[in-house]
């Protein structure tokens, strides 16, 4: 039964995650944390961290990690199939239709209308991840002392390095991982 639940949950994610992997994150979050209770918000952030670090699309990686966590290797396979299957059919259909009707103003209007919604989905996921990484479990702290100042510092340094240097995301992730390892083993 859990494999069927995984397939249905990730099929829904794959079916409604327009805009790529980051746009799928709030849908995955809704399914695995709030609807199914398979993970906590902190566990989800850990899965996202691993999903971002491994090669491949983040939504597919996250589905594989979650499925594996919930039901072992068969769960990882089923969740991965569930999240990718709708895309295969939708992309084939849309590619055929788009190349046939791409010059119609109706098609261009739909594409223009979807862009802000996709940005909102990505922003929502980013805000949720940001709050969880710095404040734990996605809730703003009631007390100033609840802020994870090490995470705030690593976040600030990472943003600064990304914006002001030629370091790429891989170098920043390696730096942050090594810094976190050193800081958290010394504390």
Tens of pLDDT, residue by residue over 130-146, are 887 777 764 665 567 77
Tens of pLDDT, residue by residue over 58-94, are 889 999 999 999 999 999 999 999 999 998 988 899 8
Burial class (CB in 10 A: 0-12, 13-18, 19+), 140: exposed
Tens of pLDDT, residue by residue over 102-125, are 888 888 888 889 889 888 888 888
Q: What is the DSSP string of 112-142?
A: HHHHHHHHHHHHHHHHHHHHHHHHSTT---S
* Residue 43 neighbours by CB under 8 Å, 6+ apart: 69
Token digits for 71?
A: 């039901």
Q: Which pLDDT score, from 0 to 100, does residue 140 have?
A: 62
Q: What is this structure's pTM? A: 0.59
The residue extents of the domains of the chain are: 2-147, 148-187
Tens of pLDDT, residue by residue over 1-33, are 899 999 999 999 988 887 677 778 888 889 999
151: pLDDT strictly greater than 80: yes
Tens of pLDDT, residue by residue over 34-52, are 999 999 988 998 998 899 8
């Amino acid at each position: 039964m859990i494999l069927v639940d995984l397939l249905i949950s990730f099929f829904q994610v794959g079916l409604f995650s327009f805009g790529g992997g980051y746009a799928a994150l709030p849908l995955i979050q809704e399914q695995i944390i709030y609807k199914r209770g398979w993970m906590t918000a902190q566990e989800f952030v850990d899965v996202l961290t691993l999903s971002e670090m491994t090669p491949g699309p983040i939504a597919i990686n996250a589905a594989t990690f979650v499925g594996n966590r919930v039901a072992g290797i068969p769960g990882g396979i089923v969740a991965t199939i569930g999240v990718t299957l709708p895309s295969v059919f939708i992309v084939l259909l849309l590619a055929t239709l788009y190349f046939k009707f791409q010059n119609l103003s109706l098609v261009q209007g739909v594409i223009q209308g979807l862009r802000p919604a996709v940005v909102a989905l990505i922003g929502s996921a980013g805000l949720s991840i940001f709050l969880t990484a710095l404040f734990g479990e996605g809730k703003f702290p009631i007390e100033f002392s609840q802020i994870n100042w090490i995470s705030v510092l690593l976040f600030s340094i990472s943003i600064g390095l990304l914006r002001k240097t030629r370091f790429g995301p891989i170098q920043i992730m390696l730096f942050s991982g090594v810094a976190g390892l050193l800081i958290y083993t010394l504390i």
